[in-house]
Amino acid sequence: MLRAGVEVGGTFTDLVAVEGGKVIVGKVPSVPRSPDEGAYNALLAGGVAIDRIDDLVHGSTVATNAVLERRGAKVAFIATAGFRDVLFLQRHDRRSIYDLGYAKPAALAERRDCFEVAERVLADGAVETALDELSVARLLDGPLATGGYDAVAICLLNAYANPAHESRVAALIRARMPHLQVTCSSDVAREFREYERASTAVLAAYVQPVIARYLDRFEGKLKEAGFQGKFSIMQSSGGRTPAEGMKRNAVTALFSGPAAGATGAARLAARAGFRNLITVDMGGTSTDVTLVVDGEPQLASETEIDGLPVRTPVLDIVSVGAGGGSIVWVDDGGMLRVGPRSSGADPGPACYGRGGQQPTVTDAHVIRGTIRPKAFLGGRMNIDVDKARAVFAPLAERFGMSLEEVADSAIRIAEANIVRAIQIVSTERGHDPRDYALLPFGGAGPLHAGRIAEDLGVRTILVPPCAGVISAYGLLAADYVHHETATRRIELKPGVEPGIREAVAEMRARAAKRFSDIGLEGSPVFDVTAEMRFVGQAFEVPVALPIDAMDTLTVEEIGRLFEVAHERLYRHGASGRKRIEIVAFRLGAGLPLEALPMISAPDSVGDIAETAAVTERRKSFDCPVRARAGIEPGALVEGPLLLEDSTSTIYIPEGWGGEVDAWYNLVLRRAS
C-alpha cells in the first residue's frame, strides 16, 4: 500500500510517502500562484509513482491565502429584512482600544452585495413571519441575475433553531441559477449568535469556488498521470475528508496546516505510549502549540482569520510570533522584546547572508553556540557568523552585556513567549502542564524544548524522528473525521433524558449519512460533547458525554460532569443547586485508519564527537556535540548535549537525559 501526504506551505511543499517500511521524505519550493504545481512537483521530485498511489492526502494554504489576500469568490449575502448590515456592524467593539484610526476587520462581501428577504423565525424555531417568496423572486430577477456572483451566502435570524427558510431560499436560488454555489449558515455552523454564524457562512462561500477549482485542477493533473487511488483533504479539525466532502464545505480547510502537524505529533506519540502531550511546532515565523488529551488534540469551537470569526470545529492551536526568524528588538521604554515581527524566509536572519539587517532568534543561536554553522540544515545552508554578531552588537552595547549574553537573553525571552502560549492552552483551560509530555517539532522546536519544559514543570520530552516533516506525516496519520453541531436548549430536569438521547441519535444518523454520501464505508467511531452552562450564562463549557452509556445516563450525572468542568475552568460554580442547561451538542464521527503508517529514522550518516562553545542561561561551557543518527535505540544520552540531524538540532540541557525508543523517538526525562 503506497500512501503519500503532500503539504503545501508558504515557503516549502513537503512530502512524506510510505510504502511498507520504506519512507520517502521530500521538500520542494512552493509555487504560490499555482500551489497544485508545487504539490505535483513534490511527488515527482520524491520519485513517487503517481499511478501506484493508493491513498493521497493533501493539505494546503489555498483557502487561507484566498482570505488573507482577498482573492476569493464574489459573494452575495442574504439576510433577514432589517439585518443586511450584520457583516459591517459586527460586534460593536474594538480590538485595540486606544487606536484612534481603528478600522474593523474587512468583511468578505461588499455592502452593495448584501440583500434582505422578508421573514422571521424566533429563538424556539417558531415562524413569526412566513418567508415572503416574492422578496426572493425580486432578488433572482434583479441583483442575483446581473451581479456576476460566484457564490451566495444566506444567514437568516435563528436559522440554527429552524433552517427551513434558509433551505427554501437556497432551493429557489439553485433552481433558477444552478451555477451559483449556495451556502446556508445553518449548514456550516448550527449555533446562535448571528454575526459569527454569518461570518462563517460568508467565509465558506468565499473560499468554496476557489477550493473547488483548485481541487478539480489538481485531481485532473493526477488522473492524467494515472492516479486511481483515494484522494482526501485535511481539515481544520485535524481529520481528513474525501475531496468530495471538501467541495461541500471548504471552510473546514482554513486551518488545516497547523492541524496536520498536531495530528501527526499526537499519532506518533500515541504509538510510543504517550497520550497526553503539549505539542510545540516552531517554524520560521511562529510557534504553534496544542494540547493533546488522551491521544486527541483538543478542539476549540471558535477561532478567527484576519479578524473574522469562524465557528467551525478547529483544533485549539495558539500561535505566537516566536520562530527562528522572529526579530529581537528594544521598545522605546527600554524593554528587550522578541517578535511578533519576523524577517520571514526572505531576507531571513542576518546570518543567512541574504540582506537581513535585523537580529533574529536564529542569529542568537549562532552567536550563543547552540546552532553550529557547519551543521545547520545538514550543512546545506551557508551561515555567516560575523553578520549575526554585527546585528547583535548594538543590543549588547545597550544592555552592557557580551554578545553571547544578550543572544542568550533574547532566546530566553522567546522561550518565555512560547511558555505563555502553552499556558493559554493548558493552565487557562484548567489543565496542569505537569501532567503532560512536551513534544517539540518543526525545525527549531527541539532546540528550546528542554528549557520550555523546565519553565512549565514538565518532566518528559519526546522528540520524534524527522521532526521537520511532522505536518506532512500528520496527513497520512489522520482519520476521516466529520463533525455535526446542533443547538438544542435543554434544561437539566428529571425526565429530559429521552430528548438528549434523541438529539444525539439524530446527529449520529446525519453523520453516518454524510459518510456514505461521500463514499466512505465502515463503522464510524463517535464522540459527543454537550455545550453546557448555568442558566443565565452566555458561554458554554464543553462536557464530554460517555457515548456508549447514553442509554443509562441520568441528568444528575450530566450535571455533575458539568459542575466539575466549570469549577476547573472558572474556580466557582459547583454548588449542586443551580439550574443547568445544555445549549448545544457537538458530535464527532471518525473512521480510523486500519493501520498507522510507520515513520522511522532517517538514513544514518554516522556519529560525530565534537564540542561547541555554548553560552546558555548565563553559563559558558564546552558542550559535547553528537549526531542523532549515531544514537542507537536503547543507548543512553545525558545533557548538556547538542544532537544534530538534517532537519533540526536538539539541545539537551544539563539535568536531562534519556534514550531513543523502538520508534526512534528520543525520550528525555529530567533528573529529580
Binding residue (CB under 8 A) for another protein from 573, 588, 590, 639: 573
Task: Return the range that interacts with another protein (CB under 8 A); candidates 11-19, 78-86, 244-252, 315-323.
Answer: 78-86
Binding residue (CB under 8 A) for another protein from 569, 574, 593, 596: 569
Cβ neighbors of 572 (< 8 A, separation 6 or more) are 566
Task: Supply the DSSP string of 654-671, one letter for each residue.
Answer: TTEEEEE-TTS-EEEEE-
Distance between CA atoms of residues 521 and 471, nearest Å? 26
Dihedral of alpha carbons 199, 258, 262, 8, sign: positive
Binding residue (CB under 8 A) for another protein from 70, 94, 374, 434: 94
Task: Return the range that interacts with another protein (CB under 8 A); candidates 10-18, 31-39, 45-53, 530-538.
Answer: 530-538
Identify which of residues 302 and 661 has a Cβ nearer to another protein in the complex. 302
- How many alpha carbons fall within 13 Å on the CB side of residue 444? 26
Binding residue (CB under 8 A) for another protein from 74, 341, 420, 669: 420
Binding residue (CB under 8 A) for another protein from 97, 595, 609, 636: 97
Identify which of residues 375 and 406 has a Cβ nearer to another protein in the complex. 406
CB of 583 to another protein, least distance (A): 10
Task: Return the range that interacts with another protein (CB under 8 A); candidates 48-56, 192-200, 370-378, 625-633.
Answer: 192-200
What track of x and - describes contact with another protein for positions 225 through 264 (by CB under 8 A)? ----------------------------------------
Q: Give the containing element (helix H, strand E) for 670.
A: strand 666-670
Q: Which residue is it, cell 511578533?
A: 340
Using CB under 8 A, which residues numbered 320 to 339 contact another protein?
331-337
CB of 576 to another protein, least distance (A): 12
104 is a contact residue toward another protein (CB under 8 A): yes
459 is a contact residue toward another protein (CB under 8 A): no
Q: Give the containing element (helix H, strand E) for 19.
A: strand 12-19
CB of 406 to another protein, least distance (A): 9
122 is a contact residue toward another protein (CB under 8 A): yes
576 is a contact residue toward another protein (CB under 8 A): no
CB of 285 to another protein, least distance (A): 20
Distance between CA atoms of residues 249 and 226, nearest Å? 27
Dihedral of alpha carbons 7, 8, 9, 12, sign: positive
82 is a contact residue toward another protein (CB under 8 A): yes
495 is a contact residue toward another protein (CB under 8 A): no
CB of 600 to another protein, least distance (A): 38
Q: Give the containing element (helix H, strand E) for 362.
A: helix 361-368
DSSP SS3 for 611:
strand
CB of 597 to another protein, least distance (A): 39
Radius of gyration of the chain (CA): 26
Contact at 8 Å (CB) between 320 and 418?
A: yes
Residue 144 has phi, psi (to 5 degrees) of: -70, -30
Using CB under 8 A, which residues numbered 380 to 409 contact another protein?
399, 409
Dihedral of alpha carbons 433, 293, 307, 533, sign: negative
417 is a contact residue toward another protein (CB under 8 A): yes
498 is a contact residue toward another protein (CB under 8 A): no
Distance between CA atoms of residues 57 and 48, nearest Å? 14
**C-alpha cell of 506?**
439524530
Identify which of residues 326 and 417 has a Cβ nearer to another protein in the complex. 417
Task: Return the range that interacts with another protein (CB under 8 A); candidates 106-114, 235-243, 294-302, 306-314.
Answer: 106-114
Cβ neighbors of 273 (< 8 A, separation 6 or more) are none
CB of 226 to another protein, least distance (A): 50
Contact at 8 Å (CB) between 152 and 180?
A: yes
Identify which of residues 70 and 91 has a Cβ nearer to another protein in the complex. 91
CB of 412 to another protein, least distance (A): 5
CB of 304 to another protein, least distance (A): 14
CB of 90 to another protein, least distance (A): 8
Dihedral of alpha carbons 424, 429, 433, 439, sign: negative
491 is a contact residue toward another protein (CB under 8 A): no
Number of residues that bind another protein (CB under 8 A): 60
Q: For the beta carbon of residue 672, count every other beta carbon within 10 angstroms.
A: 5
3-state SS record for 327-344: EEEECCCCCEEEEEEECC
DSSP single-letter state for residue 354: S
Identify which of residues 457 and 546 has a Cβ nearer to another protein in the complex. 457
Q: For the beta carbon of residue 469, count every other beta carbon within 10 angstroms.
A: 27
CB of 200 to another protein, least distance (A): 14
Using CB under 8 A, which residues numbered 152 to 171 contact another protein?
157-158, 160
Using CB under 8 A, which residues numbered 624 to 653 contact another protein?
none
CB of 335 to another protein, least distance (A): 6
- How many alpha carbons fall within 13 Å on the CB side of residue 643? 30
562 is a contact residue toward another protein (CB under 8 A): no
**C-alpha cell of 225?**
498521470
Task: Return the range that interacts with another protein (CB under 8 A); candidates 48-56, 82-90, 344-352, 380-388.
Answer: 82-90
568 is a contact residue toward another protein (CB under 8 A): no
**C-alpha cell of 574?**
459547583
Relative to beta strand 230-234, strand 127-129 is unpaired
Q: For the beta carbon of residue 542, count every other beta carbon within 10 angstroms.
A: 18
Q: Cis omega before residue 340 (within 30°)?
A: yes
DSSP SS3 for 481:
strand
Distances (CA, A) of 135 to 78, 87, 160: 11, 21, 22
Residues that bind another protein (CB under 8 A): 82-86, 88-89, 91-94, 96-104, 110-112, 122-123, 157-158, 160, 192-195, 331-337, 399, 409, 412-413, 416-417, 420, 423, 428, 489, 534, 536-539, 566, 569-573
